A and B are shown apart, each in its own frame.
Chain A
Amino acid sequence: MRWLGLFCRLAVGGIFIYASWDKLLHPAAFAAAVDHYHLVPYSLLHPMAYGLPLLELITGAALILGLYRRGAALLAGTLTMVFMIAIASALARGLDITCGCFHTDGGHAVGVSLLVRDLALLIMCLPPLLLADAGPRLAVRRKKDQASRS
């Protein structure tokens, strides 16, 4: 179970960091992608265009490093659920838009396949959240290594 937790931690963390990168570089394009969902008020659009990629980056980094691991897994799961609700809402309203999940210039059109993908991601958030041991915490391990050498 420990290795399952570690695998999910690293996979979800890597996916979140990858997802954040293009959005961090192109906040204006990401704001436009978010606006296409017609869910976020204009007063929150730009703060969200800056904040959401950073939240993905910090959450992904925390998962990979094992720092605040359960909190990061909770955030990752919550974010994934929010993304699923946004995609389902766009599908229900018949919006023909790209998802803006990984790339701000195009990317996948919203569809059921994206919901399945996000559901898999959501399931992968559970082991790091629920397991008592989900692999080594890198910062602590380094300290332990230093202590064992001295």
Chain B
Amino acid sequence: MDIRSQPGASHRGTGLRGLAMRRPLKEAGVLLVVTMAATALGWALRPDRLPLRADPAFYELELEAPLIDPDPALALYQAGEHLFIDTRPVPEDSLATIPGALPIRPGSFDDDLLDLFDFLSPEDPLILFGDGNLLPVSNIASRLKERGYRDIRILRGGIGAWVAAGGPVTRPESGKEGS
């Protein structure tokens, strides 16, 4: 049967094969348009939406330790088996930190590690946190791994995400580091 004789078929001479594939192509186009509309709508309505353009610095960063979300980190904190390490540069007096967190700063890494000699051992499970920027925390994780520390995780979102998850914070006394 000549397909071109069917109702709705074009007579512009694209051939049998072209006519047979025209309908699937048209249907696929409709589905693509529906998908694009749903994607735009879904992106606009999601409260936790990613930025439209990805930050290359985020994806190119190869983290030296796995990330942990604030909620499971809070559970580990309450269990009391993990040590929390504040990796932010020496804080201002008013800077909030996690109660019991030990400071290991990028600018005084060796001195801080020496000060914590009695409190830390390479077997201790550590959770590192910063201000949300992953690069400096990952660098501290790398340097700790060089010293033999193996059980290291990085708090996703840093201290801000910790506070948002309901984690406790304390403000160190004037002139003292949070410990």
A binds B: yes
Whether A111 is near chain B, meaning CB under 8 Å from some CB there, is no
Cβ-closest 6 pairs across A and B: A71-B27, A68-B27, A71-B28, A70-B24, A45-B54, A51-B39
Q: Which of these binds chain B: A52-60, A96-104, A115-123?
A: A52-60
Residues of chain B having any CB pair with chain A under 8 Å:
23-32, 34-36, 38-39, 42-43, 50-56, 59
User: How many chain A residues touch the partner (CB < 8 A)?
Assistant: 28
Are B53 and A74 closer than 8 Å at their CB atoms? Answer: no
A74 to B31, CA, bound (A): 11
Whether A146 is near chain B, meaning CB under 8 Å from some CB there, is no
A 68-87 contacts with B by CB, 8 A = 68-75, 78
Q: B residues within 8 A CB of A31? A: 50, 54, 59
Give the residue of B31, B42, B51, B53 whose beta carbon is less than 8 angstroms from that of A71: B31
Are A35 and B59 CB-contacts (below 8 A) given A54-B38, A72-B28, A74-B25? yes
A42 to B42, CA, bound (A): 20
Are A75 and B28 closer than 8 Å at their CB atoms? Answer: yes
A71 to B30, CA, bound (A): 8
A-B contact pairs, 24 of them (CB 8 A): A28-B50, A35-B54, A42-B59, A45-B54, A45-B59, A46-B50, A47-B39, A50-B50, A51-B35, A54-B42, A58-B31, A58-B34, A58-B35, A59-B31, A68-B31, A70-B24, A71-B25, A72-B27, A74-B25, A74-B27, A75-B31, A75-B32, A78-B28, A129-B24
